Amino acid sequence: MASTVWKGYISFGLVSVPVRLYAAAREEHVSFNQIHEVCGSRIKQQVFCPTCERVVERSELAKGYQVDRDSYVLVSGEELKTLEADSSEAMEIAQFVSLSEVDPIYYQASYYSAPEDPGRRAYGLLLQAMEKLNVAAIAKVTLHQREQIILMRPYHQGIVLHTLYFPAEVREIAEYGKSGNLTLQKPEVELAEQFIRQLTAGFAPEQYKDEYQERVLALVETKRAGQVVAGQPARPRLAPVIDLMDALKKSIAERGAATASPTLVEAGSKKGPKTATVTEAKPARRRKTG
């Protein structure tokens, strides 16, 4: 049975819906333990205090916020508990928005919501109303001792929640978005569009898998069986493309297309090809990194 991440109420107007939240997705990867290579034993990590010069028990640890070099303000768990907002027990819907207005860069983690028996009717009412109007809800909730913005939206006959980054947490990188207005040859744009159309298909996430993890597990099983691990073939070296037209035509050909369309070949062979100006959309405002 799935573990409950949060238990409380979804509140909209005078209506309160008792719900439980469950993690909707989790990262899976091959994990390794740290082993002492000399004897093959698993190591034991300890917390060491350099001032007292001894190993410290977990019961002796406290939370400290650094205010200066080697200077900390200690804060207890009880003190932090008194600061928790009302959203620790209820998430009140502040507004409804069009889902298209929320840039995916703000998405953080996803949770399924499940109503308690007394709230099933109200839960269904909220779900159907949001589906009909094609909107999502914005609210706040306290998860893992932190107040977070959340977005609720209909998903597979239920309401799924996404925690969102605060605007100040979305970083601004100086190197990003510096390409500006690019003047590209029209045939280049047309060939790029043709290649994109060739690869365009419905999103089917089940066709993707973590092939690296599979190779790691295969390596472990090979070594476990005492077999010799075969060497990996050399990876092809990538280099910046010099001739975009040639690279695009080869890409299209490799994808099974016979040749570029006659109009594109003709356009590419004309002298002084027409140009197309591509203006990149500005990303959401981000916080500068320190």
DSSP, residue by residue, 32-71? ---EETTTTEEP---EEETTTTEEE-GGG--EEEEEETTE
- Please check the confidence at residue 80 and state whether its pLDDT lies above 50: yes
Where, residue-wise, is CATH 2.40.290.10 in the chain? 6-21+82-169
Strand spans (E) along the chain: 6-12, 15-23, 35-36, 41-42, 47-49, 54-56, 63-68, 71-75, 90-97, 107-115, 136-143, 146-155, 158-164, 171-172, 182-185, 275-278, 287-288
- Please check the confidence at residue 75 and state whether its pLDDT lies above 90: yes
Q: How far apart are CA 162 and CA 108, in angstroms?
A: 7
Query: Which tens digits make up the pLDDT trace of 159-187?
Result: 999 999 999 999 988 888 777 677 788 88
6-21+82-169 is classed CATH 1.10.10.10: no
Query: Which tens digits make up the pLDDT trace of 194-237?
Result: 888 888 888 888 888 888 888 888 888 888 888 887 777 777 77
Give the pLDDT band (50/70/90) at residue 244. Answer: confident
Rg (CA), the chain: 28
Residue 247 has which token pair? 């690279």
Position 159, amino acid: I
pTM exceeds cut of 0.85: no
- Please check the confidence at residue 246 and state whether its pLDDT lies above 70: yes
Three-state secondary-structure class, residue 199: helix
Three-state secondary-structure class, residue 226: coil
